[in-house]
């Protein structure tokens, strides 16, 4: 099948997102349709991650007030307990924010694919990014575990389909390097957002993590 037909032929499938990869007898769902389906799933996951970030912010505000209140009462013991909880909440907040930013980058890139070469250079790093975040995302957002696995499987299937169509060979080293770059950029922006959106823990309250850093 010519690539242009493979890319844009109308979808005739039904059922679940993975089950629609094959249509008819021996026919493959057009790559464009597969990529658009994957991007819809990713956008839904981004929305879930954003909701999770908002819940974390609300929880952080509550615990932060407890820290301040305990300090005002000179109750340093409880202030320390709340500060440690705050530290853990913020670690999760950064992790979820980083995942959200990385997924947004993947979604933007999927929306610009127009040829076979771009499929390989865009999807291979995307699969690596998603797989590297799967365990942490499943812990932070267990209700999204199925969607994360489905997205990873769908993108991998598209890569296999694209390779079969165009006989392309994957440069896994370049894909891994690009995936690392996406994650590092997302981590830097997430760190900046955490500084902007979450107030600093009051001076005089040392968390367990800070104590470990000082004793190292």
Mean pLDDT value of segment 187-207: 84
pLDDT of residue 4 exceeding 60: no
Mean pLDDT value of segment 65-81: 92
Q: Tell which residue, 82, 176, 92, has the closest CA to residue 137.
A: 92
Distance CA 40, CA 178 (A): 22
Q: Tell which residue, 133, 128, 127, has the closest CA to residue 101.
A: 133
Distance CA 179, CA 102 (A): 9
DSSP state string for 76-134: HHHHHHHHHHHHHHHHHHHHHHHHHHHHHHHHHHHTT--SHHHHHHHHHHHHHHHHHHH
CB 197 within 8 A of CB 57: yes
pLDDT greater at residue 170 or residue 58: 58
* Residue 54, strand partner residues: none
* Residue 23, strand partner residues: 27
pLDDT at residue 8, as a whole number: 60
Looking at the chain, the whole-number percentage of residues with pLDDT higher than 70 is 75
Distance CA 201, CA 86 (A): 8
DSSP state string for 8-60: HPPP---SSTTGGGEETTTEE--HHHHHHHHHHHHHHHHHHHHHHHHHHHHHH
- pLDDT tens digit string along 14-28? 444 444 444 443 456
Structure token pair of residue 183:
């994650």
Rama region for 24: left / alpha / beta (φ>0; ψ in -120 to 50; rest): left
- pLDDT tens digit string along 84-140? 999 999 999 999 999 999 999 999 999 888 766 678 788 888 988 988 888 777 777
Task: State the pTM of this model.
Answer: 0.78
pLDDT at residue 11, as a whole number: 42
Tell me which residue has tokens 């489905």. 150
Mean pLDDT value of segment 147-167: 79
Q: How far does the chain reach from its first CA to its final CA, in angstroms?
A: 61
Angstrom CA distances, 139 to 95, 135, 207, stand at 10, 6, 23
Assign 12 a pLDDT band (cuts: 50, 70, 90): very low
């Amino acid at each position: 099948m010519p690539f242009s037909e493979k890319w844009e032929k109308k979808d005739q499938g039904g059922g679940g997102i993975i089950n629609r990869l094959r249509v008819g007898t021996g026919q493959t769902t057009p790559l464009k349709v597969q990529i658009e389906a994957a991007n819809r799933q990713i956008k839904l996951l981004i929305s879930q991650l954003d909701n999770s970030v908002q819940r974390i912010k609300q929880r952080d505000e509550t615990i932060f007030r407890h820290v301040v209140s305990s300090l005002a009462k000179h109750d340093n013991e409880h202030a320390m307990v709340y500060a440690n909880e705050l530290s853990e909440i913020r670690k999760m907040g950064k992790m979820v924010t980083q995942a959200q930013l990385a997924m947004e980058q993947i979604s933007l890139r999927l929306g610009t694919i127009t040829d076979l070469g771009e499929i390989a250079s865009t999807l291979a790093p995307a699969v690596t990014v998603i797989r590297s975040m799967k365990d942490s995302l499943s812990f932070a957002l267990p209700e999204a575990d199925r969607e994360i696995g489905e997205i990873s499987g769908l993108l991998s299937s598209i890569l296999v389909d694209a390779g079969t169509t165009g006989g392309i060979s994957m440069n896994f080293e370049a894909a891994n390097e690009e995936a690392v770059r996406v994650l590092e950029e997302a981590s830097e922006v997430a760190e900046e957002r955490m500084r902007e959106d979450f107030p600093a823990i009051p001076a005089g309250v040392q968390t367990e993590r800070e104590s470990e850093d000082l004793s190292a």
